Amino acid sequence: MEKLELLAQRIDSLIQELGRLRGDNARLNGEVKNLSEEVELGKMEAEELQKQISAGDAARNEACSRVDALIERIQAALASSETAQDSAPEDQKF
């Protein structure tokens, strides 16, 4: 009889433990869901930031190309000016 009583107590204890574990499991599943949503939002934000970086890089490259073209025009104008001065008569040189 005593063994049956101990067995019944152990079964009650295990049932209580099962209830607690189910509650913990439900809580952890909720946390996992929330974290998964946060990770997904983080991925979307990272993609958006990457697009912005790419757009910034493209704008910077375009600006650098324009500056390079302006420098080439200035150099060509200076070279043309020097050539014109070198071929001008002495009384017309600056």
Domains of the chain by residue range: 2-84
- Specify the pLDDT at position 58: 97
| Pick from 54-58, 71-75, 81-85: least confident | 81-85
Tokens, residue 60: 């910077």
| pLDDT interval class at 24 (50, 70, 90) | very high
State the DSSP code for 88. Answer: S
**What's this model's pTM, rounded to 2 decimal places?**
0.57
The tokens 């070279």 sit on which residue? 79
Does the structure show a pLDDT above 80 at 90? no
